[in-house]
Structure 1
Amino acid sequence: MKVVLRTFDLKLKHTFTISRESYDVQPTLIVELQSEGFSGYGEATSNPYYKITVASMQHNLEKIIPFIEKITDETPEEFWDIAHRLLGNDMFSLCALDIAYNDLYARKKDKKLYELWGYATNNNPKTDFTIGIDRIEKMVSKMKEMPWPIYKIKLGTKEDIAIVTELRTHTDAIFRIDANCSWTVDETINNAVELKKLGVEFLEQPLQADNWEGHAAVFKHSVLPVIADESCIIEDDVAKCHHHFHGVNVKLVKCGGLTSARRMIAHAKKLGMKTMVGCMTESSVGISAIAHLLPELNYVDMDGALLLAEDIATGITISNGIINYSELNGTGVQLIS
C-alpha cells in the first residue's frame, strides 16, 4: 500500500465566524491510500481550538508511512487499532487515515461504504445549513442566499435573541442553535425559553466543555434538548455526557475517524441519547464520509463543502438538505485534478 499526502487551502464563500474565531480560508490535509489499482481518500482539517495544524499532521503521518505501507488486508477495525498505536493522541491524523482506509477497503469489496456496513438509506436525516455570526442584516442575507429546510445558527453575542427573532421573520425553516461554549448556565436556561418560542429544535454546546456541574443543571432545567459537541471528543466522553446532555454530536476529526465514530454512535444509542454527526469546514472528501453514517443518525450537520468557494473533490451532492450518494464505491470521492 502506498501513502500520498496532499495539502490544500480551502477558500470560503464568506468569512465564517463563531463565538471564538473568524476565518476565510481553511487549511486541510488529504490522505490517499493506493493499493491494487484502487485509491481511498481521507481528510482532516486544521483546528486552532484543538491546536492542530496541517504541518503537525503531515509531520506525524510522514513518520509512520513505512509502517502503514506494510499493511495489506487488515479490516478497518484492525487498521484503526494499528494506526492509533502509531499516532497516539493525534486523532485528526488518525481520522484522515481511517477514512481513507475505509474508503479503500469498500472499493476493494466493490461496495459503497454504507452497503458494506449493511445500512439502509431510505430514512436518512436532512442536513442543516450553517449561518455564521455576523451583522443581523448579513445573516439574513446569507440565509436568503441559501433557502434551506433546516438552519444551524451560530450564536455567542449580546444580541442572540434579537438575531434569531429577526431571522425567524424571513423563514419557516427549523432552527438549531450552536453557541460554541459561549453562554452561562442562566443564559442557557433563559435563552431556551425564548428560543423555543422561535421554533428552535435544540441547543448545541452552550457551556464551556468542562463545566459538568453546569451541564447537569442545564440538562435538568432547559426546555430545549441540549447536544454535546466540545464536551464529546473521544469514545470515553459518550458515557460522561449521559445525564448531562440529551444527545452527542460526533466529529470524525476529533474522535479518530469513521471506525471510532460508529462505536460512539452505537454507545450513545444504547444509552438512549440522540445521535448526530457534525463537520468542520471540509471538502467533499470529509463530507462524503459522513454521508455513510446517516442511517444511524437523528441529526446531521454536513454542510462544510457548501460553504466553500471551490471544492477540491466530487462525492455526495446535497439538494435542499437531501443527501445524494455518488455512483462510485467506497465513500464515492474523486479528487478534482
Structure 2
Amino acid sequence: MRLRLHRFRLSKAVPLAISRGTTSAVEHLLLELEHKGLIGRGETGGFDTGHRHYDTNAIAAELEALELEGLEPQPLQVLEPLLARLSPPARCGLDLALHDWWGQRLGQPLHRLWGLDPGACVATSVTLGLGEPSAVLARLERWRLQLPSTRIKLKLGSPDGLDHDRALVQAVRAALRPGDELQIDANGGWDLAGARQMIPWLAEQGVVLVEQPLAPLLDAEADTAGFAALQGLAPIPLVADESCWDLGDLLRLAPHVQGINIKLVKCGGLSEGLLMARTARRLGLGVMLGCYSDGGLLNSGAAQLLPLVQWPDLDSHLNLIDDPFAGPDREGDVLRPAARPGLGAQRLQEVA
C-alpha cells in the first residue's frame, strides 16, 4: 500500500458559533491509499471538544510515520493493531480510505455490503449557531432557501446565560412551521443547576431532545454521574455527544441516556461507528450521526450508516464554499448513502 496526504481548506458560508467558540474555516487532510491500481480516499482533521484536543498537524505526523510497505488493505482485521495505535481522527482517515478501497474493489457501496436499506433514511437536522435572535432567525431563513429544513438543531449554552438561551428558543419556536422539529444542543455549556432548570422548560416548549447538557469530563465516573443526575427531570431524550467516543463510552452511559451521537473523527471511523450504531439500537438507544466542520468526502462516508440513524445531523458540507467533494445524495432534507462503490463520494475539484 502507498499512502499520500494532501491538505485542503474548508470555508464556511456562515460561521458557526457554539458554547466553546466560533469556527469559520478549518484545514483538513485528504488521504489517498493506492493498491493494485485502485485508490481509496479518506478525510480527517483536528477538532476540540473542550476536554480533548486534536491538532491537524499532529494527525498528519501520525499518518506520515506509518509503515505500510508490504501490507495489504484487506483483510481489515489484520490491520487492527496498526489502527489501534492511532489517535481517533488519524484512525478515522485511514479507516475511511481502507473502506473506500474495499468497496471499490468489490464494486459495491458499503451500505449494500453491510445489508442496510437506504429507504430507511430520514431527514437530517440543520444547525443554528449561537447569536442574537435576529441573526439566528436569518440563518434559519437561509437554510430554508437551500433545503426544506424540517428538523432544526439549535445551539445553546450561551456565555450570556440561561435567559439568552430561553430567548433563542422562544424566537425559533415562533418561526417553526407545522411539522417542524426542534432539537437542542448545549455543547456542554450548562452546569448541573442550569441543566436542571433548562431540561423541564425545554420539554414544555416542545423540544424533542437535548444533546450534551453538561461539559464532558475526562474522569469517566464523574462524567457518568452527571448524566445520571439529570434522569427523570422531563420526558425528553438526553443524547451524549462529547462524552461518548467509542463503544466503551456507549456501554458506560447507556443506563443514563436515551441516545448517543456518533461522529467518525471522534470514534475513529466506520469500523467503530458501525459497531456503535448496531449496539445502540440493540440496547434501545436512539442514534444520532453528527459532524464537525467536515467535508463531503467524510460525510459521504458517514452517510453509509444513515439507515441505522434516528437523528441524522450531517449538514456541515452543506455550509461550505470550497469543498472538493460532493456530499451524500439528497432528496429534500433526506440524505442517503450513494449507490456508487465505496464511500460513494464524487470529486468536484483537485486537491493540491
Q: TM over 0.5: same fold?
A: yes
Question: How far apart, in 2, do the equivalents of 1:252 and 1:305 lie?
Answer: 14
Q: How far off is 1:155 after superposition?
A: 0.6
Q: Report whether the alignment pairs 1:187 with 2:186.
A: no
Deviations 1:116-173 (A, max 9, x none): 1111111112211111111111100000111211111111122111101111111222
The aligned amino acid for 1:288 is S
Q: How many residues align?
A: 332
Change (3 A) 1:131 1:77: farther
Change (3 A) 1:207 1:60: same
Equivalent in the alignment of 2:105: 108
Equivalent in the alignment of 2:286: 274
The aligned amino acid for 2:184 is I
Deviates more, 1:239-248 or 1:264-273: 264-273
Matches within 5 A, 1:123-134: 123-134=120-131
Q: How far off is 1:40 after superposition?
A: 1.4
Q: Helix, strand or coil: the match of 1:243?
A: helix
Deviations 1:17-76 (A, max 9, x none): 110111211111111112222221111121133321111011011111x3x243225233
Q: Helix, strand or coil: the match of 1:295?
A: helix
* TM-score normalised over the length of structure 1: 0.93
Alpha-carbon RMSD across the aligned residues, in angstroms, is 1.6
Equivalent in the alignment of 1:169: 174
The aligned amino acid for 1:32 is E
Equivalent in the alignment of 1:154: 155
Q: How far off is 1:281 after superposition?
A: 1.1
Q: Helix, strand or coil: the match of 1:309?
A: coil
Q: How far off is 1:272 after superposition?
A: 1.9
Question: How far apart, in 2, do the equivalents of 1:127 and 1:37 lie?
Answer: 36
Change (3 A) 1:327 1:277: closer
Equivalent in the alignment of 1:97: 94
Question: How far apart, in 1, do the equivalents of 2:84 and 2:308 lie?
Answer: 27
Equivalent in the alignment of 2:82: 83
Structure 1 gaps, min length 5: none
Question: How far apart, in 2, do the equivalents of 1:315 and 1:20 lie?
Answer: 26
Change (3 A) 1:77 1:199: farther
Equivalent in the alignment of 1:121: 118
Change (3 A) 1:95 1:318: same
Q: Helix, strand or coil: the match of 1:201?
A: coil
Equivalent in the alignment of 1:41: 41
Question: How far apart, in 2, do the equivalents of 1:201 and 1:257 lie?
Answer: 28
Change (3 A) 1:248 1:78: farther
Q: How far off is 1:295 after superposition?
A: 1.3
Kindly, what percent of the aligned residue pairs are identical?
28
Question: Which consecutive aligned stretches of 4+ in structure 1 deviate over 6 angstroms post-superposition?
Answer: none
Deviations 1:298-326 (A, max 9, x none): 11111110121221112423343211444
